[in-house]
Amino acid sequence: MSKTKKLKGIDLFAGCGGFSLGVSRAGIEVVAAVEMAIEPCQTMAVNKERAFPTMKIVNADISKLSGIDLLSMVNLKPGELDVLFGGPPCQGFTFVNSNRSINDPRSKLMWEFVRMIQEIQPRYFVIENVPGLLSFKDFFYELLTQLEMSNYEVRFNVLDAASYLVPQTRRRVFIEGGRADLKITPVFPEPICYDPKMINNNQLVSPADVAVECFRKNGFRKDEVGNTWWNRKLNILMNKKNASQEVDLAVNRIIARKVFKMAQSVKSA
3-state secondary structure (DSSP) of residue 127: strand
* Angle (nearest 5°) at CA 90 between 129 and 117: 60
Residue 16 falls in the annotated catalytic set: no
Q: Which residues pair with residue 34 across a beta bridge? A: 12, 58
Q: How does DSSP assign 98-116, residue by residue?
A: TT--TTSTTGGGHHHHHHH
Q: Which residues pair with 30 in a beta bridge?
A: 9
Rounded distance between C-alpha atoms, residue 28 and residue 20, angstroms? 9
**Helix, strand, or coil (residue 191):** coil
**Among 16, 90, 193, 214, the one annotated catalytic:** 90
Contact, 214 vs 246, CB < 8 A? yes
Residues serving a catalytic function are 90
